Every structure is written in structure tokens, then in C-alpha cells.
Amino acid sequence: MNDNTRQEPTLVLGGTGKTGRRVVERLEARGLPVRIGSRSGEPPFDWEDRSTWAPVLEGVGSAYLSHHLDAVPGAAEAVGSFADLAVESGVSRLVLMSGRGEEEADRVEQAVRDSGAELTVLRSTWFAQNFSEEYWRDYVVSGEVALPAGDTPEPFVDVDDLADVAVAALTDDRHIGQVYELTGPRLLTFEEAVAEIARAAGREIRYLPISISEFAAAAAEQGVPDEFIDLLTYLFGEVLDGRNAHLADGVQRALGREPRDFSDYARDAAATGVWNPSAPRAA
């Protein structure tokens, strides 16, 4: 164990998001001090405003780094500069949330490695929770999940596994220097994933494959911010070409156990009522 992480707070960037929120919950459950790094945190942290970076790093011993737009060109410069500042501020341990098979994410990883911090990289595939939190929950609730995902299989990973790995890496020296490629235990096409969700939710929900331009136009009409449309069209266009259509063993290597299966995720998410038509809209 790293004693620093016991006394000094761990900064969790994106600490209100899908992965960060779960990392915060787990650290707090262990009685470890945590600081949320996001625009709604205290002090507030904004990637777009460099004057907010130093205050959020003050007194911090370790940090979970995630950038909400890490696949977008320019992210490497921002995340690398932040990692340099973190190391200058005395942060010794960094855990980076990254995406597999993404060019810009590779550049982000290298920029963070160059900071010289003790580093663990989590290279993740698509999250199962995209179907129940942001980005696609509203589509599932509407009964039609129209996405430009073709029929390429993906080994969706459960974000709870990802958070378990992140917390292990933040608190245990054995993970320093490791790159963990994180996937679920099973390849599923989007059509198969939606069919599992429909079964678990007890509703008719269908997957409709559409083109990237149809997707971008529909998202713009629904008021999705341009930066997210760019991110998603980039990811659908680049990453879903089969390059990631294989399983990896990062969860097993990091935690010594199997990853959660998509059907367990779908069953548990359905039980919360998140896919009921009367559920409130996703944030």
C-alpha cells in the first residue's frame, strides 16, 4: 500500500461521471480522503480554464485522470500539461482512464507517461453503462436504439469493474507501470446487446443500424452539443471497424477475478427501473 494515499486526498477528475463517481464511492467507502475534480466540484475544476488546475491539485497525493473528450484532437496537450503540473505539485501516483484503439488516446497516454509520474493506464472498451446512463439511455427508453454501429462485435465492459481496477491502482503499488486493457468477458454486437436489454427490461426495444451522417443529423436535432457529436462520430467511425473485436484480460490481471457479464449488467440495470418509459430523462 502507498501510505501517501492514506493521508493526502486522491483527486478524481470527472468525479461526477460514470467512472469517476464510482471511483469516489469506493475510495470513500475505504475511509480515504477524496477531492472531486469537475466543474461542479469544490474548488471547481475546468479543463477549459487553466487557472482552475493548480488549486484542485493542492495537497493531493494521487489522481485519477479522465478527460471527458480524450479521443478528440488536442486532448493530449491538455492532459499532458495537467499531468506535468500534477507532478510539479507533488502528486506521485496517476491512474489514467484511456480508450483502446484510439489514436488520440494513445497520444494522451504518452503525454502522461512523459510526466514521469508512477502511472497505471486503464485502456477501456465501450462501457455497458452507456446504455443506462449517458449517452444512449434515452434511446433505449424510446424503444429504438439507432446508432451507426453496424454489426461489429464489442466486448462491452461494466463500469463497476473499471472502478474496481482504478481503485486498486490508486491504492496498491503492484499496479504501477501496468497497462490494463479492460473488456467484458463476451463479444456482443449492438443488436445482441440491445436484445439482452430488451429481455431484461421486459419491453420491445430494437436496434436500428444507421449511417454516421444520419446519426450526426439526428443528434444535432435532439440538441446534443457539437463537441459530443464530433466525439461520437469519430469513435463510431474509427474504433468500430473490428480493431477492438477481441477480449482482453485486464480485469483478470488487475483483480484476479473474471469481469462481469453483460447479462448481469442488463439484469441489475433493468431492476432499477432506468429503462422504464416513465423514468426521468438521462442527465
Ligand X SMILES: NC(=O)c1ccc[n+]([C@@H]2O[C@H](COP(=O)([O-])OP(=O)(O)OC[C@H]3O[C@@H](n4cnc5c(N)ncnc54)[C@H](OP(=O)(O)O)[C@@H]3O)[C@@H](O)[C@H]2O)c1
Cα(26)–Cα(159) distance, rounded to whole angstroms?
13
Q: Which of 53, 82, 126, 131 binds ligand X (CB under 6 A)?
A: 126
Task: Confirm if 124 and 101 have CB atoms less than 8 A apart.
Answer: no
Shorter beta-carbon distance to ligand X: residue 47 or 139: 47
Which cell is 206 given? 430494437
Verify binding: residue 236, ligand X, rule CB under 6 A: no
Nearest to 62 by CA among 30, 25, 94, 97: 94
CB of 38 to ligand X, least distance (A): 3
> Is the peptide bond preceding residue 43 cis, with omega within 30 degrees of 0?
yes
Verify binding: residue 89, ligand X, rule CB under 6 A: no
Cα(104)–Cα(70) distance, rounded to whole angstroms?
7
Verify binding: residue 132, ligand X, rule CB under 6 A: no
Verify binding: residue 244, ligand X, rule CB under 6 A: no
Tell me how far CA of residue 12 lies from CA of 33, 62, 125, 136, 166, in angstroms: 11, 9, 20, 24, 10
Cα(69)–Cα(16) distance, rounded to whole angstroms?
15
> Interface residues for ligand X in 31-70 (CB under 6 A)?
38-40, 45-48, 66-68, 70
Q: Which of 9, 99, 101, 185 binds ligand X (CB under 6 A)?
A: 99
Verify binding: residue 183, ligand X, rule CB under 6 A: no
Residue 180: CB atoms within 10 Å: 25
Verify binding: residue 264, ligand X, rule CB under 6 A: no
Task: Confirm if 59 and 86 have CB atoms less than 8 A apart.
Answer: no
CB of 181 to ligand X, least distance (A): 11
Beta-bridge partners for 113: none
Verify binding: residue 136, ligand X, rule CB under 6 A: no
Shorter beta-carbon distance to ligand X: residue 43 or 177: 43
Verify binding: residue 175, ligand X, rule CB under 6 A: no
Verify binding: residue 148, ligand X, rule CB under 6 A: no
Nearest to 280 by CA among 145, 132, 130, 128: 132
Verify binding: residue 262, ligand X, rule CB under 6 A: no
Binding mask 4-33 for ligand X (x = CB under 6 A): ----------xxxxxxx-------------
CB of 15 to ligand X, least distance (A): 6
Verify binding: residue 239, ligand X, rule CB under 6 A: no
3-state SS track over 29-45: HCCCCEEEECCCCCCCC
Which cell is 126 given? 465501450
> Interface residues for ligand X in 214-233 (CB under 6 A)?
none
Under rule CB under 6 A, how many of the chain's residues touch ligand X?
26
CB of 209 to ligand X, least distance (A): 18
Verify binding: residue 152, ligand X, rule CB under 6 A: no
- Interaction site with ligand X (CB under 6 A): 14-20, 38-40, 45-48, 66-68, 70-71, 97, 99, 124, 126-127, 130, 134
